[in-house]
Amino acid sequence: MFKEQPSDAKSAHLQRNTHHVYRLMYHFVWILQYPNKVFVEPYREAMKAIIHKIGYDYDFDIQELENPEDHIHMIIKGEPKTAPSHVMRVIKSIPTREFFKL
């Protein structure tokens, strides 16, 4: 009835740990507090670089990152031991401090 896929095609998107197999993808939308168009071109790339550096430092796997002029979209691959609220707290707090230093 169902066609069996090769085992490597099934597990291409799955992550494995000692006792479980998982695939967690979080889609975060970070909307600015004031509806101003803050992310104009020189600051847009700086914000992307800051967020990617935080992802590297805290071992967050950022799959996609887009920032139009008034909000930020992120798709982050997570692990079951890390709460989405913790990921967003880190990603919102550090770039805010770094962004205002610019």
Task: Give the tens place of pLDDT for each residue, 6-60.
Answer: 444 444 588 887 888 888 889 999 887 776 666 777 788 888 898 999 999 998 8
Cβ(44)–Cβ(63) below 8 Å: no
Domain containing 45 equals 19-78
CATH label of the domain that carries residue 71: 3.30.70.1290
Tokens of 15: 């992550």
Judge if pTM exceeds 0.95. no
d(CA 49, CA 36): 21
User: Per the structure, how many domains does the chain have?
Assistant: 1
Whether 42 is in a domain gets the answer yes
Whether 92 is in a domain gets the answer no
